[in-house]
Amino acid sequence: MMTVTRLDVADARHLIEGAAARAATIGVPMCIAVTDESGQLVAFERMDGGKVTSITIAIDKAFTASAARKATHEYGEASQPGAPAYGIASAIGGRLMVIGGGLPVTVDGVVVGGIGVSSGTPAQDRDVAQTGIDFFLGQRSDGAA
Amino acid sequence: MMTVTRLDVADARHLIEGAAARAATIGVPMCIAVTDESGQLVAFERMDGGKVTSITIAIDKAFTASAARKATHEYGEASQPGAPAYGIASAIGGRLMVIGGGLPVTVDGVVVGGIGVSSGTPAQDRDVAQTGIDFFLGQRSDGAA
Amino acid sequence: MMTVTRLDVADARHLIEGAAARAATIGVPMCIAVTDESGQLVAFERMDGGKVTSITIAIDKAFTASAARKATHEYGEASQPGAPAYGIASAIGGRLMVIGGGLPVTVDGVVVGGIGVSSGTPAQDRDVAQTGIDFFLGQRSDGAA
Amino acid sequence: MMTVTRLDVADARHLIEGAAARAATIGVPMCIAVTDESGQLVAFERMDGGKVTSITIAIDKAFTASAARKATHEYGEASQPGAPAYGIASAIGGRLMVIGGGLPVTVDGVVVGGIGVSSGTPAQDRDVAQTGIDFFLGQRSDGAA
């Protein structure tokens, strides 16, 4: 038997809250998804004005980042023509995302879930996802203090 | 040209808050999804302990209820053997849900979205979905008062 | 954060070993799948002569039983015409199985995974799945002794 | 009428055993799949810590290698921009894998199945798959001796 640690819904809300605040600051309404360590959806919000295509993309970015324990932009680099993971973008029915905006959420060195953001440029999506993680980790520190 | 009225993310949060409170009261952690009038996901939460199978089922119940403007349990009756909509359960790749727990959200006589709930019995799912709608409508009245 | 307990690959081998021995005894080569508590595949074997259609069916029975925490034959009863879950068989792209042969694996009152068996009659599949669970639990007792 | 020769489940276990031993040696828990000459799954194991995304990827690498009778890394070369098989990565719903880690299993000059490995780098995956084949072939020689 194995024991695993994963995000709960309260954690997911913090991740979304931090990400949404950053998205509002840069003026780009986003779709934000949070998955557990197995890649299964825990929470999702489409901010008013978030793109419909981004619903699935955000969910799949979070799925990829958590279930593969790797940031989606890293897959972007690894899957360029000539690079080792070339062609992985169409794996798992196209759910394996190689575009920036999906980040694993790591606590105490273990991946406990993922966050996926979509509607802006990949750089904006990644920035918003990272800000969500920073806010979440800050809340945890506060709670632990 | 047309103008449509639909739920925004603040509305979706009220729907989920009301539904989750009811789910907690009856002691059944649920997956709760809210879609807009086009059937597209606005917000989702899997309460701690909600079933993994219910992620998709809740989203598809909300999709069905909003996009078809019909409660999923009504499709259940209409799709029994010999009834007019027999066989519709496998339509749209199986996304057309005929099990109770998906309800359209109606404001001023117009369907503006849907809520889908899954993890309990269909009767529990439906009860939780309806409580979410009642809470949402109550918040609107309070705001208007 | 949440902590969950799930089957590891050694557990999965015991489940398959016990199920395969029973399948051999009754003379029906089977496909046998084991999933973790999130419904994700841990191990699979197609015994020599197991049916090709049963590969997916066994995997999906295990997925359903673990992720919905419910035996697939119980869904069979609940999804008959007129029953509350009528129509659920086509949910999740048809992955929600309502045919006997998928059982949750429960340890200390918690569902830690599932086993799915296919190639015989549903009654045979269920018998083989249950024998796999009994063997697994027996191995655990021996280990604990 | 035709007669085909293919891996049986005992062969599949040897392939997985040899591959898993190598994966343990290099310290990367893997998903390992074995398919028959028709590309159909015979056996699968997710080592403790293997990635969830790699479940499907390993199965699809084995499927590709056996059913196309070609190593997946060869497809990687053949599907680069400008190369003859450019675009094949998205064929068959994305199941045609062009990333290293899928190898045909050949006995007496005939492809009798395939092995697919995922969770490491493509080079690690390929190394682990090859070690599985070497171990399997060694067992055959021993048995024949």
Q: Kindly report, residue by residue over A93-138, the tens digit of the pLDDT.
A: 999 999 999 999 999 999 999 999 999 999 999 999 999 999 999 9
Q: Is C9 on the interface with A (CB under 8 A)?
A: no
Residue of C nearest to A10 (CA): C1
Q: Which chains touch B (3 or more CB pairs under 8 A)?
A: A, C
Distance, in angstroms, between D100 CA and closest chain A CA? Answer: 8
Q: Hey, is C105 helix, strand or coil?
A: strand
Q: Which residues of B touch C77 (CB under 8 A)?
A: none
Q: Which residues of C touch D12 (CB under 8 A)?
A: 45
Q: What is the pLDDT, as a whole number, of residue B141?
A: 81
Q: Is C70 on the interface with D (CB under 8 A)?
A: no
Which one of A79, A86, A110 makes the best mutation probe of the D interface by having the most chain D beta carbons within 10 Å?
A: A86
Q: Is D8 on the interface with C (CB under 8 A)?
A: yes
Which one of A14, A46, A57 makes the best mutation probe of the B interface by having the most chain B beta carbons within 10 Å?
A: A46
Dihedral (CA of A84, A90, A92, A95) sign: positive
Q: Is A64 on the interface with D (CB under 8 A)?
A: yes
Mean pLDDT calculated for residue range B108-113: 97
Dihedrals φ, ψ of D91, to 5°?
-70, 160
pLDDT in tens, B21-47: 999 999 999 999 999 999 999 999 999
Q: Which chains touch D (3 or more CB pairs under 8 A)?
A: A, C
Which one of A60, A90, A98 makes the best mutation probe of the D interface by having the most chain D beta carbons within 10 Å?
A: A90
Q: How confident is the model at residue A145 (pLDDT cuts 50, 70, 90)?
A: very low
- One-letter amino acid of A11: D
The answer to whether the Cβ–Cβ distance between A43 and B42 falls below 8 Å is: no
Distance separating the N- and C-terminal Cα atoms of chain A:
33
Q: Are strands A31-36 and A102-107 parallel, antiparallel or unpaired?
A: unpaired
Residue B140 in this model has a pLDDT that exceeds 90: no
Q: How confident is the model at residue A143 (pLDDT cuts 50, 70, 90)?
A: low
Q: How far apart are CA C81 and CA A72, in angstroms?
A: 45
Mean pLDDT calculated for residue range C48-58: 98
Q: What is the pLDDT, as a whole number, of residue C108?
A: 95
Distance, in angstroms, between A39 CA and closest chain C CA? Answer: 9
**Residues 31-50 in A contacting C (C-alpha not used; CB under 8 Å):** 36, 38, 40
Q: Hey, is C50 helix, strand or coil?
A: coil
Mean pLDDT calculated for residue range C113-127: 98
pLDDT exceeding 70 applies to what percent of chain D? 98
Residue C145 in this model has a pLDDT that exceeds 60: no
**Structural domains present in chain D:** 9-138 (3.30.450.150)
Q: For chain D, what is the mean pLDDT?
A: 96
User: Which token pair is A80?
Assistant: 């360029």
pLDDT in tens, A121-132: 999 999 999 999
pLDDT in tens, A6-64: 999 999 999 999 999 999 999 999 999 999 999 999 999 999 999 999 999 999 999 99
Residue B143 in this model has a pLDDT that exceeds 80: no
Q: Is A9 on the interface with B (CB under 8 A)?
A: yes
Q: How many residues does chain C have?
A: 145
Q: How far apart are CA A89 and CA D99, in angstroms?
A: 11
Q: Which residues of A touch C36 (CB under 8 A)?
A: 38
Q: Which residues of A touch C1 (CB under 8 A)?
A: 5-8, 11, 107, 112
Task: Find out whether A114 and A68 touch, Cβ atoms under 8 Å.
Answer: no
Q: Which residues of B touch C63 (CB under 8 A)?
A: 53
